[in-house]
Structure formats: structure tokens, C-alpha cells
Structure 1
Amino acid sequence: MTQNHYHVLGVSSTATPVDIKLAYKRLAVQLHPDKHGGNPIYEERFKALAVAYRILNDPARRAAYDQQLRQAEQRLAEAHRQQEFRVQGQRVYGVPMPPPAPLRTRRPAASAERHYRSIPKQRKFTRRDYVLTFGLLAGIILFMLLVKVTMDHVTAVSNYEDGVEAYGHRKWETAKTYFSEALDFKPNYKEALRRRAEIKQLIDRDYRSASTDYAAALRETEQQRERAILFYRLAQCQVQLGQIASAERNLTYALALDSTQSGAWLARGEVRLFEQRRFPGAIHDFTAGLRHRSIVGRPLPTKYLTYRGLAYFKLQDLAQARQDYRRVLEANPRNGQVHFLLGRVAQQEGNAPAACEFFRRAVLLGYVYADEARQQSCP
């Protein structure tokens, strides 16, 4: 017997009942199936432990079991003795002796008692594999995006440069087409937006579309002077569209950013004179615009001198109005409109002969509106 009840309890065959009991309690705690999740191996071992204790704890059963052990040992010793003295190749009745049957103390272990270690399944992708795969895909996508952005930028710049060349040769439609193609590849290309807006405003007279381009260019522009120019251009389009309040506000923004813009001063003065009828503000703006023009050495536009004279006339400041009109006549003596306006000044001052003379000159110079005034005021 390879394993007997003493071996199960882990005691010697001469162990006292107390030793057997202590060994049983200790192993019962260690091998109880509840401590091992109901493992079948530990259930079998626990059953074997209980059987061994039941037999060895009973003196009568133990004595009988010890007698069985001694008999088994004697049989085993006799078998070994016979094996030692048997001649190899000895034949019995002409047949070789069969090998001795293997000695067993118990039935072979069942599959549930064998200790198998299951081989864990290898996953196809670990977390590291997923991270590397995702990183590779992200890198490819980022590279493709960078290539696209770079190519779009290069194409947009090339189209813009071609548009500038056509713009310089006054090929307006060709230039506008190039600028539009540049914006297809780079929608926030502020230079292309501004150039296309200028063509729409000054050549096509498409003020609404030009306003849209100027507003888009403003969103992409941070430099103050450039923003001032864009506000000025946007206001010009809004005046043509009848958006007077927005135009006046944007001209104010332009002057807040760059007070040296004579064009913005004069444009706001024109809005305040004709649209808002704010004559003091108009005079202030015309004066500032004309002063900035003279500072940089540019010729004074007679149109705005005439407008300022008209604003003075509306405020009944006839002396200042006459002075501006005279300056216009010095630059252009054949201006029939200014002769007519001087006649109105003389008429307001009660100088009928002078008024009639100015009206007559205006008619001779081709200003037809003066003829009606001459007929009404002059005999």
C-alpha cells in the first residue's frame, strides 16, 4: 500500500489517539472544500481524511486495520523475496514467467484529482498592440492632413499671385477668378478677400458681395492700420446699400484705429451732411480730412470744399461758405455749380444784383438748375 490512513492523517503508526485527533482537526481546517471554492480535488481529500479518522479513532477498527497493514506488508515482502531469487528467463511449463502485477493501495486517481494547469489563451491584440495601432493610424491621418493643408496653402498662394498680376494689368475678371480659386483652397486668405472685394466694389458695383468679403477679411486681420482701411471700405459699400447707421459706425471705428485717414474723415462728413443732416459734425469731419490731405501734400479735392461750404450755408455761416466756394473757383473758374451756390449766398445776404450775376454765369457755364433760380429772382 503506497498510502494508508496514517499517511492521510500525516502521523506514524504508533501515534496516540490525541495525536490522531489533533492531526485530523488541523487537516480538516486546511482541506475543507468551502475554503477552496468547492474544488473536487479537496472534496476527495476531505472525504479520505474523514474515513481515515473514523477508522483510526476507533480502537477496534484501528486494531483490525493495523492487522491488515501487517498482512499486506508480509505479502509484499514475500513477493519481493520471490522476485529476488527467481532466475531471469525462468520458464514454467515452457512459458516465461509473467511480470508481477503492480501493487496498488487505491484506485487510480480520477481526472478531477489530477492537477492540470490550464494554458491561458493568447489574445490576438494586447493593450499595447491597440495603442501602437491607434498611434500609427493617428500619425497617418495627421500626416495626410498636414499634406493637404500644405498643398492647399501652396495652391492658394500661387492663385493669389496670379490674381495680383492680372489685377496690375487691369484684367478684372481674370483677377477675380484667381482670387476666388485661392479662397476655395484657403477660405480665410485675407489678402485675397480684400482684393476680390475691391474689384466687386469699384468695378462690378456689387456692394453687397463686397461687404461680405470685407467683413470676412476683418475677422482675419489684426493689424490696426489694415483694419482701419477695411472698415473704411466696408462703410463705403454700406453707404451705397443705404445702411447709413452701420456706415457711420464703421467710419468711426476706422478713425479710432487710424485718425490720419483723410478718406474716412471726408466720407463720414459726407454721410453726416447728406444723410444725417448733422451739419456741425460734417464741417468738423471735412475740415479734419482736408487738413490731413494738406499735411501729406495731396491736392485738396474741390468736391469736399464745396460740401463744407454747403454745410456752412445750412448753418447760415455765409462768410465761411463764400470762402470755401471762392477757393473752389480759384481751382476751377468754370464750375457752374459753385457760381450757382455763390448766387444763393448773395441772395441770402440780400444782394440781388450779385445773385443774378452769379446765376447768369452758372447758366452760361451749363448749370441748368441755375436758370430756374434766375427766372424767379431776377427781372
Structure 2
Amino acid sequence: MLPSVSQNHYQVLGVAPTAAAADIKRAYRQLVVRFHPDKHGGDVRYEDQFKAVAVAYGVLGDAGKRATYDHQLAQATRRAQDTQRQQQYRPASQHVYGVPMPPPTPLRTRPPAGAHERHYQRIPQQRVRFNARDWLLTLLFIAGIVLAALAVKVTMDRVSASSNYEEGLRAYARGDFSAAYTFMDETLHFRPDYAFALQRRGELELLVRHDSRAARADFQAALRQPLPRRVAATILYRLGRCETALGRPAAAELRYTNALQLDTTLSAAYLARGKARLLDLRQPALALADLDQGIAQRRRSQTPTPWHYLQVRGVALTSLGDYAAARAMYFQVLQANPRDGRTHFLLGRLAAQTRDSAAACEFYRRAVALGYEYARPAQEGCQ
């Protein structure tokens, strides 16, 4: 069904006057596709409706124009209601037993004056002059209008940002990361300093889009806003992940440390700092202390520790010469992931360090069989 040309912009788009900005945009996109002239062989009716939809969205899609249009629409509605009430009103004195009375005839005491009796006098026009008080009032009036428009725009931006953020959270929760990123991006278009939207978009850039630089920029912007300590600690931990991905281990260690200063229960930061200290900074003793702290916290909270951190702990124990504990840790990893070729390779290196060549070659063979090609040179050395 085509909308009538007499409809207002809300009726053209088929939305309620209280509709959110996202609903207006969605309705516009659907109607543009529906009424596009190319789909109807250049039919003039659909071309007119296509233009009407574009004009309606041009007003309702802009927060400031929409606020002005809503005000004008309300005034027009009130005027129409007043006109209707005036047409329905009839003075009781003009009806006698339901029959309208004729209008009274004007009372004349003499014939109208002739042209020779009429005198016309030209009234001189006076120039309007503004004094200082008038200019001040005018400027105050203009400033009031500007401030009111700014207040309306800020309010509408906040409403639109909140609506998009909620939609983004719902998409994030159901695993629709592409839609979640789009909603977070729209949120930050209306409120560039919205810390929680910056945090969520940064997480999507880091974990889904693998764009560590963009994620780091979003996390840094979020940290410039006032945040609860736990939220700030989580963002600092994510920022450390970005620095690690960008090859900045010292900066990553500092971010993890800052996160733990705000929240000492953040086990993920302990584990990540331990891994960075071992593999990037070559500090096995400090790394082992961090890994033990993170694993202990996860045990207390009954949260499983990712197996690769147990593997890293085995490497730290090997570096410190505690071969028995390292071997026990590697076998614990194999219980969780028996087909991990890297763990077999690490067991082979451990056996080589303890001068057990037969066991080392067997572990290298298993690692290569499981697809871990880095173990192939070591296996070839056994032959």
C-alpha cells in the first residue's frame, strides 16, 4: 500500500512519533528498497513516494531537524483542533426552537457620508530605532534559541547512543559480532567519549577483527574517562594484550602491573604478565610467581586455567632447573590436550636436557606426527 502525500513524515516512514533513531533508519532503508523507481519500471507514483521517503528521512534522521519538526507538528495539530472546536460552536442566541435567527441589520441614523465629506490625512511613517536595551534583548533571545537547540541535540544524541549501545550488547551476547561492532560504532558516532562503548568496540577489534592498533586507541580513549576500578583494570589488561600483539613487551608488562594495582583478583592479568615475563623479558623466576598466583586464584574461584598457561609454567620450571615439576606439568597439559604437538616437543627437549636421548627422540617423533613441524630438525638429529 502506497502512503498518501498528505501524511506527515512519521506516517510516510510508517513509524511512531516516539520511535528511536535506529527504528527510523531501519524503516527508511526498507522503504527506499521498496519504492525505488527502477523496481517499478519508472512508475511516477513510486518515484513520488521514493522522494517523499527521502525527504522524511532527511528531517527525521537529523536530531535537530526532527526536534524542530516535532514542535511544528504539535503546533499544527493544536491549530487544527482549535479550528474544529470553533466550527462546532454556535451561540445559543442565534437559534429559536432550532431555527437560526437572521443576522441583525445595522442601525443607521443617517445616509452614508459622501465623498466630499470624507477627509484623508497621511500619517507620517516613523523609523524604528533600536536602543541598547533592545539589542541586548535580541541577543539574549538568539542565545536562548542556540542554547535550546544545543540542549535538544545533546539530549537526542544521548538517547540515540544509549539505544545503539543496548542493541550492541544484545548482538554481542548472541555472538553476532559484526552487528555488535556496527552498533558500537553508531554509539560512538553520537557519543565519542562513551567509555563502555569504547571498551566493547576495542574488545571486538582485538579478539574478533585482530586489529591491535585500533583496539589500543579505543582502550586508551576509554581510560581517559572516569571508570570503576574493576572496569579500568580489565581495560588495562586488554591494553596489555594489544601491546604484546604489537611487539612491545615492556609496555605490556607495565599495563598488566597497572591492572593488578587496581584489581589484585584479576587472574588473567597475572597469567598474561607471567607469560610476557618468561617468553619476552626472560625473567623465569618472576614469571613463575605470576603464573602460580594466577593459577591459584582460578582454583579458588573454581575456574579452569587455559592449558597453554600450564604449558608456559612448565617452560618456566624447566628454565629454573626443576625438571621433575616441569615434566609433571607437561603431562597435566597432555591430559587436557593429548594431541598437542608442542607439548610433546617440550617433553623431548626436557628429556634431552636430562640426557635421556631415547625418550627425547620418541617425543620428537610424536610431535612431528601430530603436525608440529618445529620438532622435525630435532627428530632428524636423532637418526
Q: What TM-score do the two structures reach when normalised by structure 1?
A: 0.62
How many residue pairs match? The answer is: 257
Is 1:233–2:251 an aligned residue pair?
no
Cα distance, 1:335–1:183 mapped onto 2, change above 3 Å:
closer
User: 1:150 Cα shift?
Assistant: 0.7
2:314 is matched with which residue? 309
2:202 is matched with which residue? 197
1:150 is matched with which residue? 155
CA distance in 2, matches of 1:332, 1:192: 36
User: 1:138 Cα shift?
Assistant: 3.4
Cα distance, 1:208–1:312 mapped onto 2, change above 3 Å:
same
User: 1:321 Cα shift?
Assistant: 1.4
**Counterpart among 201, 206, 212 of residue 207 in structure 1:** 212
Is 1:278–2:283 an aligned residue pair?
yes
**Counterpart among 289, 293, 316 of residue 288 in structure 1:** 293
Is 1:173–2:178 an aligned residue pair?
yes
CA distance in 1, matches of 2:196, 2:372: 44
Q: Which string of whole-angstrom CA distances, capped at 9 and with x for unpartnered residues, describes residues 66-95 of structure 1? A: xxxxxxxxxxxxxxxxxxxxxxxxxxxxxx
Q: Which string of whole-angstrom CA distances, capped at 9 and with x for unpartnered residues, describes residues 101-133 of structure 1? A: xxxxxxxxxxxxxxxxxxxxxx95666555544
Q: Which string of whole-angstrom CA distances, capped at 9 and with x for unpartnered residues, describes residues 318-348 of structure 1? A: 2221221122233334433323222222221
CA distance in 2, matches of 1:298, 1:253: 23
Q: What TM-score do the two structures reach when normalised by structure 2?
A: 0.61
Q: For structure 1, list consecutive stretches of 5 or more residues without a partner in the other structure.
A: 1-122
Instruction: Point out 4+ residue stretches in structure 1 off by more than 6 angstroms.
Output: none
User: 1:228 Cα shift?
Assistant: 0.5
Cα distance, 1:174–1:327 mapped onto 2, change above 3 Å:
closer
**Counterpart among 326, 331, 340 of residue 345 in structure 2:** 340
CA distance in 2, matches of 1:126, 1:369: 89
Q: Which string of whole-angstrom CA distances, capped at 9 and with x for unpartnered residues, describes residues 1-51 of structure 1? A: xxxxxxxxxxxxxxxxxxxxxxxxxxxxxxxxxxxxxxxxxxxxxxxxxxx
Give the aligned CA root-mean-square deviation in angstroms.
2.5
Highest Rg: 1 or 2?
1
Is 1:249–2:254 an aligned residue pair?
yes
Partner SS, residue 204 of structure 1 = coil
The 5 A counterparts of 1:9-158 are 129=134, 132-158=137-163
Q: Which string of whole-angstrom CA distances, capped at 9 and with x for unpartnered residues, describes residues 148-182 of structure 1? A: 11111111112222323333343333332222222
1:221 is matched with which residue? 226
CA distance in 2, matches of 1:368, 1:145: 63
Q: For structure 2, list consecutive stretches of 5 or more residues without a partner in the other structure.
A: 1-127
2:334 is matched with which residue? 329
Identical aligned residues as a percent: 46
Q: Which string of whole-angstrom CA distances, capped at 9 and with x for unpartnered residues, describes residues 196-245 of structure 1? A: 22221122111111111111111113210000011111111121112222
1:24 is matched with which residue? none
Amino acid in structure 2 at the alignment position of 1:203:
V
CA distance in 2, matches of 1:314, 1:230: 31
Partner SS, residue 216 of structure 1 = helix
Moved more, 282-291 or 164-173: 164-173
CA distance in 1, matches of 2:281, 2:336: 29
Amino acid in structure 1 at the alignment position of 2:312:
Y
Partner SS, residue 162 of structure 2 = helix
Cα distance, 1:334–1:145 mapped onto 2, change above 3 Å:
closer
